[in-house]
Amino acid sequence: MAVTKYTESSIKSLSPREHIRLRPGMYIGKLGSGTSEDDGIYVLLKEIIDNSIDEHSSGHGKRIDVTIGDKVMAIRDFGRGIPLGKVVDCVSKINTGAKYDSETFQKSVGLNGVGTKAVNALSSYFMVESYRDSKMKQAIFKEGEIESESRQIKTDEKDGTYVEFTPDQSIFKAFGYQLAYVETMLWNYAYLNTGLTLSLNGKTFRSENGLQDLLENKLSGDILYPIIHLQGEDIEVAMTHGTHYGEEYFSFVNGQHTTMGGTQQAAFREAIVKTIREFFKKDYDASDIRTSIVSSISIRVQEPVFESQTKTKLGSQNMGPKGPTIRNYINNFIKKELDLHLHQFPETAKAIQQKIIASEKERKELSGIRKLAREKAKKVNLHNKKLRDCRAHFNTKHKQATESTLFIVEGDSAGGSITKTRDVNTQAVFSLKGKPLNTFGLSKKIVYQNDEFNCLQSALDIEEGLDTLRYNKVVIATDADVDGMHIRLLLITFFLQFFPDLIRQGHLYILQTPLFRVRTKMETRYCHSEKEKDEAVESMGKGVEITRFKGLGEASPDEFATFIGSDMKLEPVTISHLHNVDDLLSFYMGKNTPERQGFIIENLHVDKDLLQAAS
């Protein structure tokens, strides 16, 4: 083993700009390609918009315009504008800004003076213009270093700030924007800032009823009672119960969507259980109270502490330096306001109690079925036959390792190839036998009575909810043919029916496998479409051999190394409109209908010339 010398010359000092570019993950989380809503390019956008939101929250500016081109993002707000003498410092000097002045920004989400500087440092082009008192100043940067700076000149522009930037492709590699993710971000801003108008490429986002509008736009299927909407100083809550499985929370702090929850979400869950138990004077099980809940909570605190620069989880324990604990504040608010609401609306209280009793009954019925299912699986050793696990380290709470992935494949052939190729440290394989059952309209006991689904939920360790999920990514890896597509749909139906949180929290993906292998003696390319194949054939010249993959089982282990390696193509399974889920499942997975037949015929992509020739 070579010995590396450790001397004074080993110690390096980096400028803030150099450190951001060397370790971007510390500032914006994962880089990604834009296929996940928490990828870095969206964090860059959010950091700029957050500054505009802070202006609005301080009473300045009622509109924010966002424009997204091929690789360029632009944000225009109509706040006070950056003081012209400090424009360059505010966007390039770390730990510089007005957020340290608690009088100016009492309850801002960005307090560290890092966000905009990180965007600047990670952009190949960054331009800022500030308009203030009929004057403007412009500064242009490249990779965080200033290229040009204008003098203060007269302008007819309304006060505010304009920022335009292009993420550095040497850092973010190949990336693209999913506008649906940006729309979700802007809707959240609108819900939390009633009276604010945002736009994305001309599309408008505005809310008048805050979190009540959020729930109405996010609801999945029927609800058991009208949305409860509660508001107080520095807190807003909306909640109802649906007919689905799982719990769904949208939690915010100072306008920041804390997708991983935190102290405020934990306190909220606790307060709901405590208040309902006291209202009904019964010690109901917490899971029976909370299952099927759809809710949102927003609080504003002074000097919030998040667990990372990306601010996805609140770590603060108090509402402010001299304020009460977040737990006590939320508990007291929910105890008072929710209890009052239930007394004022007895029909809502009755619906909640009936729902709790029904959940309790189902839970007890499933208890016996679970026991039988475990005994059966253990007897025939089904679990070990179907799962080839990885070595990823799981902590004592079984929280999934960040890099761990479970591939769900069809058949032993594909399972064998992917098992030989996978990274045994982080990639596990679960093999299906035949087509899964269509679970649409079935009760949850089918999860335990069906061998495939019983073993799958056991492999994922989600019987008691997502807190114990063992894999960060669950990847459906089926053939790119009709049967493979059908299996995908059946699996997605299963997760939507019984474990929707897996999809809501961004854990479910589809592996994009190539349809063709195009190769010569010198080069091999894998193509995911006819267009890619034709382009490859044209560019590669003579002596081209084309192979059409009929199934993943035909791919060699070496080829699988390409499919599931560092360049793996994953498409996230998302629910953009939760209130349509029940209708969609009914349409696609319910009984065959003339409407569905008509839809399929209408949307078949068949060459018209071929149809004419056939006739």
Q: Which pLDDT score is estimated for 596?
A: 57
The DSSP bridge partners found for residue 198 are: 64, 205
Candidate from 73-87, 446-460, 574-588 with smallest mean pLDDT: 574-588
Domains in the chain, start-ordered, CATH in brackets? 16-201 (3.30.565.10), 211-360 (3.30.230.10), 381-513+561-603 (3.40.50.670), 516-548 (no CATH)
The DSSP bridge partners found for residue 297 are: 237, 251
Q: Strand pairing of 197-200 and 63-68? A: parallel
- Nearest Cα neighbor of 193 from 333, 300, 84, 115 is 300
Q: What is the mean pLDDT of residues 110-137?
A: 86
Largest CA distance in the chain: 82
Spell out the residues 6+ positions from residue 576 whose beta carbon is closer than 8 angstroms to its own.
180, 184
Q: Which pLDDT score is estimated for 612?
A: 38
- Nearest Cα neighbor of 531 from 521, 539, 523, 542 is 539
Most confident stretch, 79-88, 297-306, 557-566: 79-88
Between CA 607 and CA 174 the distance in angstroms is 32
Q: What is the mean pLDDT of residues 270-292?
A: 95
Residue type, 573: V
Most confident stretch, 101-105, 230-234, 333-337: 333-337
DSSP type of residue 325: B
How sure is the predictor about 220, in pLDDT bands with cuts at 50, 70 and 90? Answer: low
How sure is the predictor about 591, in pLDDT bands with cuts at 50, 70 and 90? Answer: low
pLDDT at residue 99 greater than cutoff 70: no
How sure is the predictor about 28, in pLDDT bands with cuts at 50, 70 and 90? Answer: confident
- Nearest Cα neighbor of 556 from 416, 388, 407, 390 is 416
Q: What is the mean pLDDT of residues 44-58?
A: 90
pLDDT at residue 609 greater than cutoff 50: no
Joined together, the tokens standing for residue 124 give 């190949």
Alpha helices in 65-114 (DSSP H): 87-92
Number of other CB atoms surrounding residue 554 within 10 Å: 15
How sure is the predictor about 454, in pLDDT bands with cuts at 50, 70 and 90? Answer: confident
Joined together, the tokens standing for residue 206 give 């505005």
Evaluate whether 324 touches 260 at the Cβ level (below 8 Å): no
Between CA 225 and CA 176 the distance in angstroms is 41
Q: Using only C-alpha atoms, what is the Rg of the chain? A: 27
Is 10 exposed, middle or buried (CB count within 10 Å of its CB: 0-12, 13-18, 19+)? Answer: exposed
**pLDDT tens-place string over residues 405-425:** 999 998 777 677 788 888 888
Candidate from 273-277, 287-291, 581-585 with smallest mean pLDDT: 581-585
- What's the whole-number average pLDDT of the chain? 83
Q: What is the mean pLDDT of residues 317-326?
A: 83
Q: Kindly report whether the global pTM for this prediction surpasses the value 0.85.
A: no
**pLDDT tens-place string over residues 499-510:** 888 887 889 999
**pLDDT tens-place string over residues 143-184:** 999 999 999 999 999 999 999 999 999 998 878 888 988 999
Q: What is the mean pLDDT of residues 593-599?
A: 59
Q: Which pLDDT score is estimated for 607?
A: 40
**pLDDT tens-place string over residues 259-278:** 788 899 999 999 999 999 99
